[in-house]
Amino acid sequence: MRNPPQVMLVAGEPSGDMLGAALMRALRRQAPGVAFSGIGGPQMEGEGIASLVPMADLAIMGLVEVLPRLRLLRHHMDTAVAAARAASPDVLVTIDSPGFNLRLARQLADATFPVVHFVAPSVWAWKPGRAARMAPHFDHLLALLPFEPPYFTAVGLPCTFVGHPVVERDLSGDGTAFRHRHSIARDAPLLVVLPGSRRGEIGRLLPVFGAAVRHLAAGQDGLHVAVPTLPHIAGTVRAAVAGWPVPAVVTTGEGEKADAFAAATAALAASGTVSLQLARAGVPMVIGYRFNAITTLLARRLVRLKWVSLVNLILNREAIPERILEDCTPENLAAETARLISDGAARRRQLTDAAEAMAALCPPSGTPSDRAAQVVLDVARAGRRPR
């Protein structure tokens, strides 16, 4: 490995951009003068990477969306491969975006530098064969969840649990200020509603969540609702909540979201990483989720999970109420949420469980980013593993 090392990173979506930026900061702490190249978004560019192509071009999901962009994606793939061969970095770190990054690793199979993939795919949930397909093309895998490494080491791919980035994020907010800004009394119950970030999710879940709020309103005097969302879908969400029978404020921005969490009595949320954010912020929650009809049929055949909430998966028990598929009804969601709002003991039990889950997401030492940087540098020193 050169001194200072040269590290190439490739991220293809906003979550990967966030992970990549934190990793770059940690690498800089451990290897001053480290040089970066590759593909990233605004956060990674802020840390000094000059992105080879616009990261937004890679953030495409679904066959229908990908097909019209195939030529552009192939061009960006050729650009990334050529840049990697020309730079011959000490290590290439591919971050999430498995569709693009697995193909990139395959095309660099004959390269002399090692390739690390950051974020283990959810083979424990579906498509377990992906672990074996990844093994020949990567030198190491960085896992965010403590139970993931055995799925990959079993097929010969070294894998290290580095911890989840949620445990190093500052999610503290000012609940008093939030209530004051939005005219919510100090003792009024405040429900945070989080129907997801994609339009499809919002279209499926927000009507169900809204109907649950109507049930709650009948038995919860003074109930208020806050709906943190993203700027590009805020208009859609505002239109949907306009007819709700309780005061509902739609907010955007991470600061407002943190303040809403700090002010909340409870949350009603879609399944996903937001459940870890709520657990980290100390907000008791109910999880609800529905797929579209085709995905529901596939999920019944392919998904091998007892639970969908990451907190429940980590603890291997239902610490958080989940109402999924046909059980995701307004009546069920309202009943579970009402219990959390009115039952202080139930809230305290869930927060104790959430703290246990957060502790399990911490690496043995340091922060997740520092642990990930340490493994990346160790792999760079060791070079490619024998195939």
pLDDT block averages, 10 residues each, the chain of length 387: 94 90 97 97 95 81 51 88 97 92 94 96 74 94 95 96 93 96 96 88 91 94 95 91 95 95 97 91 92 48 66 92 88 96 94 96 93 98 88
The CA distance from 269 to 338, in Å, is: 14
Which one of 3.40.50.10800, 3.40.50.2000, 3.30.390.50, 3.10.100.10 gives the CATH number of domain 175-360?
Answer: 3.40.50.2000
What pLDDT does residue 304 have?
53
What pLDDT does residue 350 have?
96
The DSSP code sequence of 156-199 is T--EEE---GGGGS-----HHHHHHHTT--TTS-EEEEE--SSH
At the topology level of CATH, where does 6-163+363-382 sit? Rossmann fold (3.40.50)
- Structural domain boundaries in the chain: 6-163+363-382, 175-360
Q: Tell me the helices (H) and strands (E) count for the chain, helix number first.
A: 17, 12
What pLDDT does residue 64 have?
40
pTM of the full structure: 0.83
What pLDDT does residue 84 have?
97
Nearest Cα to Cα of residue 123 among 105, 150, 103 = 150
What pLDDT does residue 65 have?
46
The CA distance from 224 to 276, in Å, is: 23
Q: What is the dihedral of CA 142, 361, 295, 252, to 10 degrees?
A: -100
What pLDDT does residue 171 have?
87
Domains 6-163+363-382 and 175-360 share a fold: yes
| Token reading at 84 | 């990697």
The CA distance from 290 to 204, in Å, is: 7
What pLDDT does residue 232 have?
84
